[in-house]
A = this chain, B = another copy of it.
Amino acid sequence: MTRELADRLALTDLVAQYAIAVDRRDELALSALFTPDARLVQPTGLVRRGKDPVLDGATAVVEGVLGAVAHLHSTRHVVSQQLVDVTGDTARGEVYCDAHHVYATESGHRDYIVSIRYLDEYRRDEDAWRIAQRELVVDFTDDREIALLG
**Which of A's residues lie within 8 Å of B, judged by CB?**
1-2, 4-6, 8-9, 13, 15-17, 19-20, 43, 45-46, 74, 76, 78-83, 94, 96, 98, 100, 102, 109, 111, 115, 138-150
Q: In the complex, what's the smallest C-beta–C-beta distance from A114 to chain B, in angstroms?
A: 8
Q: How far is the CA of A108 from the CA of B68 in the complex (A)?
A: 27
Nearest chain B CB to A121 CB, angstrom units: 17
Instruction: Give the oligomeric copy count.
Output: 3
- The main secondary structure of chain A at its interface with chain B is strand
Give A138 to B52 CA distance when docked, in angstroms.
34
**Which B residues are CB-close (under 8 A) to A83?**
13, 16-17, 20
Beta-carbon contact of B76 and A79 below 8 Å: no
